[in-house]
Amino acid sequence: MTSTWITTRAWLLMLPLLIVMVAIIGWPLVDTVRLSFTDAKLVGTEGSFVGLDNYVKILSGSNFQRTLITTFWFAVLSVSAEMVIGVLAALLLNQQFYGRSILRALMILPWALPTVVNATLWRLIYNPEYGALNAMLMQFGLIDAYRSWLGEPGTALASLIVADCWKNFPLVALIALAALQAVPRDITAASMVDGAGAWSRFRFVIMPYLAGPLMVALVLRTIEAFKVFDIIWVMTRGGPANSTRTLSILVYQEAFSFQRAGSGASLALIVTLLVTVLAVAYAALIRKSAGVS
Amino acid sequence: MERRSLTASVLVHLAALLLLVVILAPVVWLFVMSISSTPDLIAKPLHWWPGTVDLSRYGVLLSSVANSAGEAFVASLFNSIKVAGMATVAALMVAVPSAWAVSRTPSVGWSLYAVIATYMLPPVALAVPLYMTLAWAGLLNNVFGLALVYLTILAPFTTWLMKSGFDSIPREIESAATMDGARLDQILRLITLPLAAPVMATAALFAFLLAWDEFFYALLFTSDQRAKTLTVAIADLAGGRVSDYGLIATAGVLAALPPLIVGLFMQRALIAGLTSGGVKG
């Protein structure tokens, strides 16, 4: 068999996938670009070419800026909390204790719970009249009146972040645990003999093994957090007073609630651009970590 | 493992207990809510454990009496199974041949990275044209239309998983069969695909769950019982004026059961996939 034939055969086998990808991803993406330069409505009018109008309006508008900041805080706070708690949990799960294998197995539960169910569950927990959080804090004497955790702009975003963090830190923990188990025993033992304390042991002996996988987890989680929609939609729909409105929620409102397909499309492309920058960083990191190990 | 002092050991056990409570408490509470009577759930101070176990809501949701909460729930349950099932089968049909081709022909490997890159795309980037096209084709609020859209997520995902699956099957087995005069279709049918069956099953399972959990497209493209999936039905319950919190919790428990069971039993495969996929890309 000639190598040309093998290559041709490979392309033929890939043809169904490529056709599907072009039809349901490639073409819609191109069409989103086209729409972003028009004032098209979701239903009815085709719209006409308006140049960069949509982009100018969005980038100079306060809605977008405020939403970008909200998204930024959601991503930074939830991802960094997930990383810290995840690594701490992994260090713990790497110790010896009774029931360790059961606890390791249970770590999968929050992650396996569908996002919508997780959001619904926490919405019930935060319920202002009958929620478990209010009941618990009251019984411990930590608050003297029930609060509306998701109903007040001051606490809504923080409450969402807790719910998101609970679901996602176990994933970081499991990835970090897998990396910890790759640290050779004799290295940690040798560093103890050399008199390294717990912190320097973590920093100089264990961290080099954790860095690669954690970087990957960090970037993947950050991309996910920038795209966040489900958990916020189910818990607050972006409210109260738009205090939890993230970029994906804003695109939904613009394109589907207000049916402005044109400016919705340009907003979606701005989000896509942000995510792409993160994804490129991801690819660079993977190449780097592959080169190191 | 080095020896620890008693204090250290006690601290580790306390920390483990704390982690156990953090992980389990919300899940257990969801279940407790689903079996508590409404008076227990709205009592002040709250009853953390029901006086009497009330399983009636499971009966309500799984019954199909016309115009009941159960009818809507059962309809969305079947829609979820149909959509996730069709999307999974379609994804495997396009993913398996291309994953094999990429695995055996490294020179076309770059196309795989292009396919995987699309997995990072935010769904909002495709949502508007997909909506317009489905509307034009009369496939809005239709299980076939939604399954087609789910291919945007499942096809890259399954191709990625299957490619690493084929990578672990030595190509020497295939070349040996070629020397014995077997044709390509015979090799694939009799040797490669049977060897890849476990990976294919895993890929199918995860793809199914991915579609099962999906919410954004389902929210956009479905509007009533003919196509609404479970996630949309639950979001409706949670956001609506339903005053029976136990009923919402019950719907959540039922929707969460399949992925929780799969997660617990397939943990090893799951973590292997996460870590190898994460590191090798």
- The Cα of A144 is separated from the nearest Cα of chain B by a number of Å equal to 13
- Residues of chain A neighbouring B251 (CB-CB closer than 8 A): 120
- How many angstroms separate the CA atoms of A291 and B21, rounded? 40
Q: Does A89 touch chain B (CB under 8 A)?
A: yes
Helix or strand (DSSP H, E) at A292:
helix A261-292
- Residues of chain A neighbouring B252 (CB-CB closer than 8 A): 117, 120-121
Q: What is the amino acid identity at position B187?
A: I
Phi, psi of A38 (to 5 degrees): -125, 170
For the CA atoms of A263, A225, A208, A93, the dihedral, rounded to the nearest 10 degrees, stands at: -170
Q: Are B123 and B186 in contact (CB under 8 A)?
A: no
> How many interchain CB pairs under 8 A, A with B?
285
- Residues of chain A neighbouring B234 (CB-CB closer than 8 A): 116-117, 120
Terminal Cα-to-Cα distance of chain B (whole angstroms): 33
Three-state SS for A38? strand
DSSP-assigned letter for residue A240: S
Record: contact B29-A132, CB cut-off 8 A? yes
- How many angstroms separate the CA atoms of A83 and A71, rounded? 18
Which ranges in chain B belong to alpha helices (H)? 6-35, 38-41, 56-62, 69-104, 109-117, 124-137, 143-167, 171-179, 184-187, 193-213, 216-221, 230-239, 245-265, 267-280
pTM of the predicted model as reported, rounded to 2 decimal places: 0.90
- How many angstroms separate the CA atoms of A262 and A48, rounded? 10
- Residues of chain B neighbouring A121 (CB-CB closer than 8 A): 26, 29-30, 249, 252
Q: Are A267 and A56 in contact (CB under 8 A)?
A: no
pLDDT in tens, B65-89: 777 778 889 999 999 999 999 999 9
Q: What is the amino acid identity at position B215?
A: F
| Closest Cβ–Cβ partner in A18, A103, A267 for B16 | A103
- The Cα of B30 is separated from the nearest Cα of chain A by a number of Å equal to 6
Confidence at B239, pLDDT banded by 50, 70, 90: confident
Record: contact A112-B259, CB cut-off 8 A? yes
| Closest Cβ–Cβ partner in B15, B252, B275 for A178 | B275
Evaluate whether residue A34 is within a structural domain. no
| Closest Cβ–Cβ partner in B4, B16, B129 for A92 | B16
- How many angstroms separate the CA atoms of B95 and A126, rounded? 42
- The Cα of B87 is separated from the nearest Cα of chain A by a number of Å equal to 12
Evaluate whether residue B116 is within a structural domain. yes
Most confident of A205-214, B17-26, B255-264: B17-26
* C-alpha dihedral sign at A162, B84, B78, A106: negative
Q: Are B233 and B251 in contact (CB under 8 A)?
A: yes
Place of tokens 């804003």: A250
State the best of B120, B230, B244 to mutate against chain A, taking most chain A CBs within 10 Å.
B120
Evaluate whether residue B28 is within a structural domain. no
Mean pLDDT (chain B) is 88
**Structure tokens belonging to residue B144:** 């076939």
User: What is the ipTM score, two decimals?
Assistant: 0.90
**Structure tokens belonging to residue B124:** 């909002």
* C-alpha dihedral sign at A151, A152, A156, A159: negative
Helix axes B230-239, A115-125, angle to 10 degrees: 20
Name the residue among B94, B41, B63, B71 with its Cα closest to residue B203.
B94
Q: Which tops the pLDDT comparison, B276 or B194?
A: B194
Phi, psi of A49 (to 5 degrees): -65, 130
CA–CA distances in Å: residue A250 to residues A227, A232, B40, B120:
11, 11, 39, 19
Domain total for chain B? 1
Evaluate whether residue B14 is within a structural domain. no
Three-state SS for A150? coil
**Structure tokens belonging to residue B121:** 């795309």
Record: contact A116-B45, CB cut-off 8 A? no
Predicted pLDDT of residue A1: 58
Record: contact A24-B130, CB cut-off 8 A? yes
Evaluate whether residue B24 is within a structural domain. no
Domain residues for the domain of B74 are 69-244+263-280
Domain total for chain A? 1
- How many angstroms separate the CA atoms of A197 and B191, rounded? 54
Terminal Cα-to-Cα distance of chain A (whole angstroms): 36
Record: contact B129-A220, CB cut-off 8 A? no
Evaluate whether residue B17 is within a structural domain. no
Record: contact B41-A20, CB cut-off 8 A? no
User: What CATH number does residue B128 fall under?
Assistant: 1.10.3720.10
DSSP A40-66: --SSS----B-TTHHHHHHHHSHHHHH
DSSP B135-160: HHHT-TT-HHHHHHHHHHHHHHHHHH
Name the residue among B274, B276, B122, B279 with its Cα closest to residue A215.
B279
Q: Does A112 touch chain B (CB under 8 A)?
A: yes
Record: contact A265-B16, CB cut-off 8 A? no
User: What CATH number does residue A134 fall under?
Assistant: 1.10.3720.10
Q: Are B131 and B140 in contact (CB under 8 A)?
A: yes
- The Cα of B204 is separated from the nearest Cα of chain A by a number of Å equal to 16
DSSP-assigned letter for residue A94: T
- The Cα of A204 is separated from the nearest Cα of chain B by a number of Å equal to 19
| Closest Cβ–Cβ partner in B42, B128, B239 for A265 | B128
Domain residues for the domain of A170 are 40-292
Q: Is A47 left (phi over 0), alpha (psi -120 to 50) or beta?
A: left
Q: Is B217 left (phi over 0), alpha (psi -120 to 50) or beta?
A: alpha
Q: Which tops the pLDDT comparison, A281 or B259?
A: B259
User: Is residue B212's pLDDT more than 90?
Assistant: yes
Exposure of B155 in the CB half-sphere (CA atoms within 13 A): 29
Evaluate whether residue B58 is within a structural domain. no
- Residues of chain B neighbouring A195 (CB-CB closer than 8 A): none
- Residues of chain A neighbouring B264 (CB-CB closer than 8 A): 105, 108-109, 112
Q: Does A24 touch chain B (CB under 8 A)?
A: yes
| Closest Cβ–Cβ partner in A124, A174, A212 for B248 | A124
**Structure tokens belonging to residue A72:** 């930024």
- How many angstroms separate the CA atoms of B242 and B24, rounded? 26
- How many angstroms separate the CA atoms of B25 and A224, rounded? 25
pLDDT in tens, B131-173: 999 999 999 999 999 999 999 999 999 998 899 889 888 888 8
- Residues of chain A neighbouring B118 (CB-CB closer than 8 A): 21, 25
Confidence at B279, pLDDT banded by 50, 70, 90: very low
Evaluate whether residue A235 is within a structural domain. yes
**Structure tokens belonging to residue B105:** 């022909």
**Structure tokens belonging to residue B129:** 């044209």
Q: What is the amino acid identity at position A287?
A: R
Among all residues of chain A, which has the CA nearest to that of B102? Answer: A10
Evaluate whether residue B249 is within a structural domain. no
Record: contact A108-B264, CB cut-off 8 A? yes
Evaluate whether residue B43 is within a structural domain. no
Evaluate whether residue A11 is within a structural domain. no
- Residues of chain B neighbouring A127 (CB-CB closer than 8 A): 245
* Cis peptide preceding B156, ω within 30 of 0: no
The residues of chain A scoring below 70 in pLDDT are 1, 289-293
Among all residues of chain B, which has the CA nearest to that of A32? Answer: B129
Name every residue whose Cβ is closer than 8 Å to that of residue B59 and which is 6 or more positions away in sequence: none
Tell the burial category of A95 from Cβ atoms under 10 Å away from its Cβ (0-12, 13-18, 19+).
middle
